[in-house]
Amino acid sequence: MKCKIMHESKGRMRVRFCMKRMTMKQADTAEYSLSVIAGVTRVQVFERTCDIIIAYTCPREDIIRRLSTFSFDDVENIVPERTGRELNKQYEEKLAAVVIGRLVNKLIVPLPVRRVMAFIRAAKYIFRGLKCLLKGKLEVSVLDATAIGVSLLRGDFKTAGSVMFLLNVGDILDEWTHRKSVDDLARTMSLGVEQVWAESADGQEVLMPVNEVSKGDKIVVRTGSMIPLDGKVISGDAMVNQASMTGESVPVHKSEGAYVYAGTVVEDGECTVIVENTVGGGRYDRIVKMIEESEKLKSAAEDKASHLADKLVPWSLGGTLLTWLITRNATKALSILMVDFSCALKLAMPISVLSAMRDCSRAGITVKGGRFLEAVAEADTIVFDKTGTLTHSTPKVAKVIAFGGRDENEMLRLAACLEEHYPHSIANAVVADAADKGLEHEEFHSKVEYVVAHGISSTIDGEKVLIGSHHFIIEDENCSEPDDERYRDLPAEYSHLYLAIGGEVAAVICIEDPLRKEAADVISKLHEYGISKVVMMTGDNERTARAVAEKVGIDEYHAEVLPEDKAAFIRVEREAGRKVVMIGDGVNDSPALSEADAGIAISSGAAIAREIADIAISADDLYALVELKRLSNALMNRIHRNYRTIIGFNGGLIGLGVLGVLPPATSALLHNASTLAIGLRSMTEL
């Protein structure tokens, strides 16, 4: 693709494609294909001018090389189903039409025609106000109707026109904010499933890319995994979390003949599904409908703003009447009507939340609603899972210790065969180590059963095979321990995964799970940002838990806990009046994530954890958690500042109007100008 560099500075380049105009699809293709270059931090494409702004930290030559070889035809399909570009364009054009129409009306349309048009446009607002009164309510629409109606009756068409214009602009911005919030949220709830277990004609399970699955293929989905495609269950039983589709908080039982949807998650059990729709069957539209029917997006601050605006209406109307009775001056009384608090309160708050969600997205943080940012801002307690959270999400196998003359590689091969079916960081480590050593295997075990927070059970050649924690293997399953010095002196610096065959421990896999180097600094910064209590809960033994807690500065820790123990702890803390945030990455963290005021999942963790969690952060490092807390605090500070500014400024306008210093038209102009100014300020980065 031919292009010209229009402007360049350190780490930033503006280029122009040599073409008349881009389609929105071409603009999205250019944006997403350039964004995947390592070192590119931001790409902004303007389809009308064919300009592209690229911010980068990589060598300049990498950008030039990619631009020189770029072609719309050669780029793979990396653009999501919806990107938000079309939505933004729709509202940009709608807003531009209103502004241009206002200018044309003032400069070209004759005065008598403008007056007739003012009455026609006013009918909409007056009808809204009357409808509200007939329902026995005094809300903002009554105030708007009164202000516009009184202005028209007094012959003040200029003031009436200005009020209606700015109300129209406010309605468009408010609708745009809501639609964009819903669109952004729906797109962040994308599947993220790249591979799936497919059942071949001979009954064998084969791991294959999800985009190679065809209609009529059979796929197997187990505990903790997301269902990647729509289809019908042909065998098995599973409890499926359908919150992303229906909003239901309780998992639904699915058995033979039941229909399952892409994006839902198997909480317990497993099922074989025959695929009926390879594109998700309108998943985006179902998500949008679910969000719009819920109050998920609204924070308490947004609700408070909306209700406060309505509560102030009777006071505004009462003040108007009282001023007229005392002064008998309609101009002074009208000055109060010209200044209502609703526009700024109802516009600035959702825009502030949207801006915070946008800033979070840029920092690799996905937030499913404004109220969760508010919960993080108010949180005084944070509960960490250890494995995959305080430690790296990619632990490694340090060594395999086999007993009873068994071969270490064969034990690792068997462990990988069992573990590859279930998404967990330790399971991934076992599978990865077997692959690195070239230990390939075929499925030779019977049905695999996953026992949450304990381990895996199966049968091979008539013998029961178990893999999991010491508690599961020794205490729950009563497997015999080997009389071996190596078993008694297992290295304390590692986590241990026990493999038992036929009722006796056959091997112990030592997992190296190093702490994240930033963990201690992150916890220190969380304390600085207002977190007074940091808790770690882990299934590891007391000795390991204590050592980790001391290293990273944990205030309180609990060892050898089960999923229900984590959830119970959070419930007790909340009942004590504390605001609790939970962060985890595994299937066993799901109950606690649901119980917390805000559940935070590591993006590389189990699908069910990401689905249940309210927020997902990048797995790269835990500093994203600090940034989340900073942005949440900054959002609430901005909202409180907006409250003070709106109440103070508009209250001053009312006072000046009553004193006769400001005429109604000037009050309306200053009020609406301040509303737009606060709205624009609320859109800036936190």
**pLDDT one-digit tens code per residue, 188-239:** 555 455 678 888 888 788 888 776 788 889 999 887 777 888 889 999 888 8
Q: Are 189 and 287 in contact (CB under 8 A)?
A: yes
DSSP H helices, 420-499, are: 425-436, 470, 485-488
Q: What is the pLDDT of residue 79?
A: 67
In this predicted structure, the answer to whether residue 556 has a pLDDT above a threshold of 90 is yes
In this predicted structure, the answer to whether residue 75 has a pLDDT above a threshold of 90 is no
Q: What is the pLDDT of residue 272?
A: 92
**Least confident stretch, 81-85, 267-271, 562-566, 610-614:** 81-85
Q: What is the pLDDT of residue 281?
A: 46
Q: What is the pLDDT of residue 527?
A: 94
Which residues are within 8 A (CB) of 102 and not within 5 positions of it... i.e. 6 or more apart?
Answer: 165
In this predicted structure, the answer to whether residue 182 has a pLDDT above a threshold of 80 is no
The domains of the chain are located at 3-79, 89-186+297-352+635-682, 195-282, 365-392+515-617, 396-512
For the segment(s) 396-512, the CATH number from 3.40.50.12780, 3.40.50.300, 3.40.1110.10, 3.40.50.2300 is 3.40.1110.10
Q: What is the pLDDT of residue 607?
A: 65
User: Whole-prediction pTM value?
Assistant: 0.67
Q: What is the pLDDT of residue 51?
A: 93
Most confident of 149-163, 302-316, 497-511: 497-511
Query: What mean pLDDT comes out for the span 471-490?
Result: 89
Amino acid at residue number 427: A
Region for residue 77 given its phi and psi (left: phi exceeds 0; alpha: psi -120 to 50; beta: otherwise): beta
More confident residue, 303 or 585: 585
Most confident of 205-214, 388-397, 408-417: 408-417
In this predicted structure, the answer to whether residue 429 has a pLDDT above a threshold of 80 is yes
Q: Are 147 and 337 in contact (CB under 8 A)?
A: yes
pLDDT band at 178 (very low <50, low <70, confident <90, very high): low
**358-379 pLDDT tens trace:** 788 778 888 877 888 989 999 9
Average pLDDT, the chain: 82
Query: What mean pLDDT comes out for the span 631-652?
Result: 89
Q: How far apart are CA 556 and CA 546, in angstroms?
A: 9
**Least confident stretch, 69-73, 338-342, 417-421:** 338-342
Q: What is the domain class of 365-392+515-617 according to CATH?
A: alpha beta
More confident residue, 492 or 635: 635
Q: Are 262 and 218 in contact (CB under 8 A)?
A: no
pLDDT band at 604 (very low <50, low <70, confident <90, very high): low
Instruction: Tell me how far CA of residue 99 lies from CA of 172, 315, 473, 633, in angstroms.
Output: 11, 32, 71, 35
Please give, one letter per residue, the 3-state secondary structure of 148-159: HHHHHHCCCHHH
**289-298 pLDDT tens trace:** 655 554 455 6
Instruction: Tell me how far CA of residue 253 lies from CA of 51, 256, 271, in angstroms.
Output: 52, 10, 11
Helix 370-378 to helix 623-658 angle (10° resolution) is: 100
Percentage with pLDDT > 90 across the chain: 21
Residue with tokens 């091979």: 460
**Least confident stretch, 73-77, 317-321, 376-380, 384-388:** 73-77
Three-state DSSP at 521 gives helix
**Least confident stretch, 122-126, 128-132, 321-325:** 321-325
In this predicted structure, the answer to whether residue 329 has a pLDDT above a threshold of 90 is no
pLDDT band at 244 (very low <50, low <70, confident <90, very high): low
CA 22, 26, 27: angle at the middle one, nearest 5? 75
Q: What is the pLDDT of residue 572?
A: 94
**Least confident stretch, 47-61, 276-290, 342-356:** 276-290
Q: In what order do the strands lie in the sheet with 556-558?
A: 365-367, 615-617, 598-602, 580-584, 381-385, 533-537, 556-558
Domain 3-79 sits in CATH at 3.30.70.100
Q: What is the pLDDT of residue 579?
A: 94
Tokens of 631: 């942005």
Instruction: Just list the catalytic residues.
Output: 385
pLDDT band at 279 (very low <50, low <70, confident <90, very high): low
Residue 204: phi and psi, rounded to 5, are: -80, 150
Most confident of 296-310, 330-344, 378-392: 378-392
pLDDT band at 326 (very low <50, low <70, confident <90, very high): confident
Tokens of 148: 């516009």
Q: What is the pLDDT of residue 295?
A: 47
Q: Are 354 and 299 in contact (CB under 8 A)?
A: no
Most confident of 203-207, 339-343, 525-529: 525-529
| Fold for the domain defined by 195-282 | 2.70.150
